[in-house]
Structure 1
């Protein structure tokens, strides 16, 4: 990928280089931070309603550039073109929701003090917020944290994943076209060592990362040493439970979609399929049949069900996890073979006979590989689901909606639960997890309040 002076983007469908970009010097990076801080000082003084108007315009500009940006995302990381357009529609939706609801959620709140007197709570912007973002949703990951923080009155810096550098720069251009003040949202083309210096910079007041648990521990520690707040979204190994009374046809169809959406490279995705014994064989037969018929191909073509994986090293790592699981006794029910030819394609794969200690049981498989696990009954299925160090999302299939709601509310140890459905993110619902999936919340009004100074003002 990168060398000491350049960043490189590679088309995963062909393995060929798209473009190289020069890394910033330390001086350019530091000037970017200072410029962002100066822009923030002016931005925070503008009424929330004015900030909301510009955020609404950003949503419109994203919509105007939808085709162009979707093509660029597909070229850089291999997602289906149709799914890139869906991603950008979500981005526009986040802008609209934030613009409509942001000003009210940031209003001062009056309080009567217990001993008499009055007070109020105000949500003051903190300053420059630094985002380190992954490649799998090149636009959504950026919009998710940047729009909330811009609405709150903060400045925003972005270190995006190297392989989607072009998408990052195009978003910066779109934000400016929409009327966002110059330097308020700044893309930094930097190395990991330079990134550490940003976390330590006194002008940077908060850090948000979407990435692996390993990266989260590193960034959380560095930010903690600098006494700076973090929001960490660290991936998962989401369990989807198929209970005895599930609609099997719906469950199979939804689970295939949930595993393969975005080429299987989604943090909040169906990954482990925990099926109770009484319906296991029926589910397995239908699920494996549908997964066997999935066509991997050119992500710009409408007849492709999945595109390539985003990078060569990611495909190799996934295949190693499959092979290690098989060595420990897992059975390949379909797929599982490394294809020949150009591009980083990997077949839709189902693994069965899984047990703790196998990568396909314990770890996140970030690609089109499904882990099929048999449970004795509904209670055992819930136990298996929670038997994970991760806790981002999960799913329940049951015709008894009240029972499913009770399980979701009182037993599922995750930040999000989908009942008889698969979903990604909703602008008005909190997004985030527990355990090794991280902490903090984005979306809704929750993301708006992560990086503000909740200030108490008291009057006699």
Structure 2
């Protein structure tokens, strides 16, 4: 029997499991059940919701090894990275539980002849469409904030990480989350459009490409429903004249190959001033060329496979087109022969506008190195992008780097002298074609709430 969804281990190309799509009637029933669960959950105190989130954090840690292995099997991330991802998700649960009661508490304000109350009320069922690159984190990032806010949550996960979505649902329910409050939908794209149209769905959040984001945002706008979109980027990391080159090389290798290079806030374009260009390229290329590629479950592997064969093919087309338009490959640049969707760490130079390596997002371990005349030119090149999610600056002058990051870098997140993907108490999100809205840092809890004004007049 042919199944609608088949999950494949990208390192071995072996089938893991298969699933059928839900019928339209089952989808409608699932949404109604989620709404019914929300109708009870919204009445529970912020403190009670927080206790459930703390229990989910404990359950994540207690099941780390089993869940981590499943994620590695489904999408190819290094096993230690899977463990780290689960710990990050547990910390998100704890942050939301601890800060939620303060972030979402009623506020009183003086008004003429009385007291004004600002209340943050949940609005209902929130639909999340999530990618495969962080099978637990991408879901937890939006789901936990909305559960803390009192909403119900639907998930359409990427098909190749279906098992991870179902595992997380079961884990949450075992930890004490009411049944159906977090619901996984096994559905097609056409069915997904009808979910957005369902009157019980009050908001839509999506992480993915800017192409998909336009479609999802347009569909939600037709229904006058709010969206939060996180749409990837081609983040620039600047190596300025006064940078510590060894530190920059070390962190840029980590930033480009983290999660096998499949990260929306990964370092992708490396803009280096003329003063440091030759030294940086030599050292960076040497380190990228030494990365050990292989089984992501084995200790010592530094680079696993890409998540699917079509993703590897797309990445190689982007590299080939960039080379055809003038870029040069210093290391890597050819898919690995044999079993598994492997692509080597690759360094491109002579990268210029008009090439995919300059203009687009390369979702894999391919680095685009671009020469800048000076610090000012480096900042110009960094902002010469339709994206604006993250970026980085390497400079020994911290005050200067901070000013560039705060006043001139046109992105949502900037790392100075380092690399990190996300931290629970800092906002996460971008501008331009990287989307809109913010998650983490308490901001995500207020994206899908009804901010009410209550006027209490003295009598």
- Same fold per TM (> 0.5)? yes
1:316 aligned onto 2:313: yes
Task: Give the Cα separation in 1 of the matches to 2:234 and 2:427.
Answer: 19
1:69 aligned onto 2:43: no
Task: Give the Cα separation in 2 of the matches to 1:8 and 1:65.
Answer: 24
Aligned to 1:180: 177
Aligned to 1:352: 349
1:343 aligned onto 2:345: no
Task: Give the Cα separation in 2 of the matches to 1:458 and 1:309.
Answer: 55
Aligned to 1:361: 358
CA-CA distance at 1:22 after TM superposition: 1.1
**Aligned residue among 148, 156, 161 for 2:145:** 148
**Aligned residue among 32, 35, 59 for 2:33:** 35
Aligned to 1:216: 213
Specify every segment of 5 or more residues in structure 1 that has no aligned partner in the other structure, as ranges: none
CA-CA distance at 1:104 after TM superposition: 1.0
Task: Give the Cα separation in 1 of the matches to 2:68 and 2:359.
Answer: 34
Task: Give the Cα separation in 1 of the matches to 2:331 and 2:306.
Answer: 18
Task: Give the Cα separation in 2 of the matches to 1:372 and 1:116.
Answer: 63
Aligned to 2:192: 195
* Structure 2 SS opposite 1:275: strand
1:312-345 CA-partner distances (Å, limit 9, x unpaired): 0000000000000000010001000121100000
Task: Give the Cα separation in 2 of the matches to 1:310 and 1:264.
Answer: 11
TM-score (norm 1): 0.99
CA-CA distance at 1:117 after TM superposition: 2.1
1:9-63 CA-partner distances (Å, limit 9, x unpaired): 0000011211110110111111000000000000000111000000010010011
Aligned to 1:93: 91
1:133 aligned onto 2:130: yes
Task: Output the aligned Cα RMSD.
Answer: 0.9
Aligned to 1:107: 105
1:405-435 CA-partner distances (Å, limit 9, x unpaired): 0000000000000000000100000000000
Specify every segment of 5 or more residues in structure 2 that has no aligned partner in the other structure, as ranges: none
Aligned to 1:394: 391
Task: Give the Cα separation in 1 of the matches to 2:199 and 2:244.
Answer: 55
1:363-416 CA-partner distances (Å, limit 9, x unpaired): 000000000000000000000000000000000000000000000000000000
1:378 aligned onto 2:349: no
1:281 aligned onto 2:274: no
Aligned residues: 457
Task: Give the Cα separation in 2 of the matches to 1:263 and 1:417.
Answer: 21
CA-CA distance at 1:444 after TM superposition: 1.6
TM-score (norm 2): 0.99
* Structure 2 SS opposite 1:193: helix
CA-CA distance at 1:303 after TM superposition: 1.5
CA-CA distance at 1:295 after TM superposition: 1.4
Task: Give the Cα separation in 1 of the matches to 2:110 and 2:256.
Answer: 51
**Aligned residue among 46, 49, 58 for 2:47:** 49
Task: Give the Cα separation in 1 of the matches to 2:303 and 2:119.
Answer: 47
Task: Give the Cα separation in 1 of the matches to 2:141 and 2:351.
Answer: 35
* Structure 1 SS opposite 2:421: coil
Task: Give the Cα separation in 1 of the matches to 2:126 and 2:355.
Answer: 38
Task: Give the Cα separation in 2 of the matches to 1:291 and 1:135.
Answer: 25
Aligned to 1:306: 303
Aligned to 2:432: 435
* Structure 1 SS opposite 2:243: coil
Once superposed, which parts of structure 1, at least 4 consecutive aligned residues long, lie more than 3 Å away?
none
| Structural mapping, 1:154-303, within 5 Å | 154-303=151-300
* Structure 2 SS opposite 1:136: coil
Task: Give the Cα separation in 1 of the matches to 2:266 and 2:411.
Answer: 13
